[in-house]
Structures are given as C-alpha cells and as structure tokens.
A and B are shown apart, each in its own frame.
Chain A
Amino acid sequence: MANNALTLELKGEVEDLLNAYVQCIDDDNLESWPDFFTEECLYQVIPRENHEVGLPTAVMWCDSRGMLQDRITALRHANIYQVQWYRHIISNPVITTEDGDTFNVQSNYAVFKTCNDGESTVYNIGRYVDVIVRDNGVLKFKERTAIYDTHRITTLMVIPV
C-alpha cells in the first residue's frame, strides 16, 4: 500500500491518539471517550469467530457518537455490575496513509481486568483495526473495530475496550 505521506511527526500524532484513547478508558474518564470519534463513526467489538467468516453480529456496535454516549449513560446510571478496572496494553501500530489525513492503522491489544475483590485476569485479547481521520485539525477515529480472539467473554462486558 502506498505510504508516501507518513512522516515521523504524523506517526507520533497517531500514536498519541491510540495512547490517549486507552488512557482515557483505564483512568475511568469514560464521559470523554466518545470525543475520540467523529460524529459519524463506527465502533464495534466483534468476536474473531464471527468476523473471520463474515458474520456481522458484534457485542457492541455503535454507528453514531450518540450511541457511544448512550453506552456510557447506561454504564453510569442503569447497568448493575461488579466494580472493575481495565488496563490496556497496546502494541506499536502499523500505520499506512496516502495523504497524511486518513490513516489505516492496526495494533494489538490486551485488556487485563481487576474487579473490586482485587483479582486480576486476562480479560480480552485482540487487535484494533482503525480508520483515523483529521476532524477540525484533530485526529479522530472514523472507524474503530476491536476484533477479539478470546473465545468467550467472562461474565459481561460493560466498559468499552
């Protein structure tokens, strides 16, 4: 793929976005999480098992920033679950761009979950496949797909990955 436009500066800018995104979730600043996306966006968390054979069902599937905000509203005000924290570890990303404005990015992630009883577990492992664009000068996710290898979700997923 043509990758003429990727400069060190742009690479740093994309990496900053990826890092800020997971820091936002892990620091429980979830009200700010939708701001990482463009107004029209697609965020999905989908099992690899479905994705590989073209089955579209995901476990989270938001196609507007409003739906992302609704996820957080439900998490804060409606859903009942054990208090839990995530720690994301993400890999160095592979970045391609043709024009320096739209980036196709892939990175691996591991999410460790710790519940309020102090027990830490490997919770969800997968890769992010992203389309990142410049929105009023700032890089945002137009699409973020988390494709997880983990065969089954343990108990529930309330916090986005």
Chain B
Amino acid sequence: MSQTPENGATLDWPAKYNEVPKEVFEREDLWPLELEKIFYGDEWHPIVHQSEIPNIGDYKAAELGEMPIFAVRGQDNQIRIFQNACTHRGTTLVTKSSGNKTEFECPYHRWLFSPEGDLVGCPNSREFTPDFDKKNFSLPTFRTEEYNGLYFITMSDTVAPLREYLGEEFYEPLGRILGGDGRLKFVGYQKVHYDCNWKAYCDNDGYHAPLLHLAFKMLNWQGGKGVQNVSENGHLSFESELKIPDDITALKDASILDFKGTETSTGSIVQMQFPLTVYSKHMDMLNIRYAFPKGPKGIEVHYAYFTHEDDDDEMIQHRIRQSSNLLGPCGLISMEDASIFSRIDKGNKTPGNAIFQKGVKSEFQLDLQVGQNDESGNLPRWEHYRKLMGFKRAES
C-alpha cells in the first residue's frame, strides 16, 4: 500500500502503538481522505433493518459518508438501497428522513422512479439524445448484503463478504442482538448530535463505563464477567454476564431495571463495527446506533430500538420503557458519554498524543488479546485507520 496519500494530507504517527496524535481529531484536511479511504473504501456499512421499513413503499433516508442515499421496500417486497439523486441532473429524490411512497418523482423535470429503482417516466424524452433509453437511467445501487434483516452496503468491489469481514466473533453475537432470527419490530429513534469528530465518538470504549457512570455505582450495578474480542480490521465485541442488581435503594421506582428476558450468561453485548456503528443488547433493550459524521466536526447518532415479534404485550411495554429511560442522549446510565465527547473534543486542541494505558502490554506491538475492560481494544482500530490513511509510523 502506498504511504503517500493522494490529496497530500500527511500526518506523522508516533512510534508507540498506544499513542494517537490528537491532531487526528482536529485536522479538517483529513476528512476528504477519510471519505475516500474509509467511507467509500473497503468497509461495510449498516443502513437499515427491514423492520424500520415494514410496508411496501416505506423508505428511509441515510448517508454514506457525504453521499445521500435511501433504502426502500419495493412492490416485490425486496429492500434496495439507492443513491438519493435523480439520474438526470442529480436532484435529491427524498427529503424526509422516512416515509412511504409508491413512486419517487423528481420535482425538477418530473422524472419518475419506481420503488425498484427503474426510471418509469420522463416527459419529452423524444427530444432527448438519439439513443436515449430509460433502461440506462435506473437509480444506482450498491453492493448489498443482508444479515438477520439488517442491510449493509459497500462501495467496494473487493472487500470480503460481510461474514468474513466482520469475523465469527463479531458476526455471531450481532445475530443475537438482531433477535437471533431478525424478526424484530422497530419502535422508534432517538437522535442526537455530538459536537466532536467522528473518531472521538468511536473511542467510546468499554473501559470508561464503570468509571464514568456513577449511575452504575448508585444502582449497585457492576458489570458481570465477560470478554472483549477485537479484530485486526478494527471491530470490537464485548460480551458479559448480565448481573441484575438486587438491592436498589437509590431508586424510588426500580421496576425500570427489571430483567424479563431469559439469557443472562452472555446477556449483555456491546459491539463497535468499524468505522463507527455500535450495536447493543443491554438488559431488555435491543439497539442499533447508526452514526453519520457531519464532516470533520460533529456527528449525528440515531439510536434505533427494537422489540421482538414473539414478545407479549408486557415485554413490549417493558422494552419500550427501558429504551426510553436508560440509554441514549437522555438515558439515566449513558447520557454522560455525550458530555465526555465534547470535552475530549475541546481537549484535543492541545498538542501531543492521546495515550492508551489499560491493558497495553507492549508499546511497540499490536496485541489482539485484550481483557474485558481494557482500553487497548481500541488500538487495532487505530492501527487499521492509520494503514488505510497511509500515515507513516515513526521508527522506534
């Protein structure tokens, strides 16, 4: 791989594997290169779960890097993901974040597309170029794979198939977050904007939680034993025993912390897929966090919550009650992640490196064996990032 980025953005990477230069969070000129090498490169990106668009014609708008896209369920019940741009002059076709349409009409010159992406009408086409053929103007789509109802896309022709890309240690627990069989029901979004670079959001690791979240302590709730699996291409997967707090005196109404599920031995799963998607199954909450960088500064995260089709009414209500109180930007046990993101962002304007410590056995060697609460689990992701970006590591 070339060590000289095409757009000239270069950055001297420290020799030590546990050091990350703070300027990597601040340099605006890195963003175009990140788009090219990461978001439009050899990575898979989750876009929509089938339960978010359950009816024919349901659509959801999203972004891949800076590219507007949308997912839609066609008349044939197939889900397709398209570039959100008319194939004529490029006007966006959908402007709402989600909705239902049986056809997609461009308001500019009234080109009309079916939910299957075919151009089905364009006024005055007799005056178009002599060999104009509607068949050549379908909406561009992406290489797409589906897993338990979750649809992933990539712009790469060469990246490995999804399962191989994620690795078994990530793929199998993700399947459990997705209900084991993908038969989920979508129950709503919580959307939040964090004022930080997208990579600061990614560093939100398993190490901080027990320290940062006083709420855990207040609830007499320490995480159970578990493992952290990391892969060379930067995915992280935490699985731990779900320990139900038994004596909660700090709360007036502790019913919010009831666990109505059955599986506790690996009942708590948190996964971070490179570059920036988090999946989690905490207590009875099933959650996908779709994340969208807003350029070099700012990131929008859409927390999507689910129930399972087999849930009874009581379980549905319970999942919704937990989802609406424990996680997300207003969640009793997670909201302070957000304030940390902003403070990291301010602090990163100082010179030098961010330094990882917990779990680092050698500063000059990448280690994929990490303990449950080691922050060193972030380092393979940083090394993957460095390589993709073509930044040269200093000699040790």
Contacts and interface: CB of A to CB of B under 8 A. Distances in A.
Interface in B289-321: 300, 305, 320-321
B324 A58 contact: yes
Interface residues of A, number: 38
Nearest to A64: B253
A4 interface: no
A63 B342 CA distance: 32
Contacts of A156: 192, 329-330, 335-336, 338-339
Given A56-B320, A59-B324, A67-B253, A47 B335 contact: no
B252 A67 contact: yes
B52 to A, nearest CB: 10
A136 interface: no
Given A69-B252, A82-B342, A155 B193 contact: yes
Interface in A146-161: 151-158
A53 to B, nearest CB: 8
B214 A155 contact: no
Contacts of A153: 190-193, 329-330
Closest 8 CB pairs of A and B: A57-B188, A66-B252, A66-B253, A61-B324, A55-B188, A80-B336, A152-B191, A78-B215
Interface string B186-199: 11111111110000
Interface of B: 97-98, 186-195, 212-215, 217-218, 250-253, 256, 300, 305, 320-321, 323-325, 328-330, 332, 335-336, 338-342
Given A69-B252, A151-B191, A153-B192, A61 B321 contact: yes
B346 to A, nearest CB: 10
Given A45-B330, A61-B320, A152 B252 contact: no
Interface of A: 44-45, 47, 49-50, 53, 55-67, 69-71, 73-74, 77-82, 151-158
B252 A70 contact: yes
A59 B251 CA distance: 19
A44 B300 CA distance: 23
Nearest to B186: A55
Contacts of B188: 47, 50, 55-58
Contacts of A71: 332
A63 B321 contact: yes
Contact of A57 (B218, B251, B324): B324
6 contacts: A58-B188, A59-B324, A61-B320, A70-B251, A81-B339, A156-B339
Given A59-B329, A80-B214, A157-B330, A47 B191 contact: yes
A57 B212 contact: no
Contact of B330 (A59, A63, A82): A59
Nearest to B302: A152
B294 to A, nearest CB: 11
A57 B215 contact: no
B72 to A, nearest CB: 16
A155 B324 contact: no
The interface centre, meaning the residue of B251, B256, B305, B330 with most chain A CB atoms within 10 A of its CB, is B330
The interface centre, meaning the residue of A47, A64, A74, A82 with most chain B CB atoms within 10 A of its CB, is A74
Contact of A155 (B217, B253, B329): B329
Given A56-B324, A64-B253, 16 more contacts: A49-B189, A50-B189, A53-B98, A57-B189, A59-B324, A70-B256, A71-B332, A74-B332, A79-B336, A152-B191, A155-B193, A155-B195, A155-B342, A156-B329, A156-B335, A157-B335
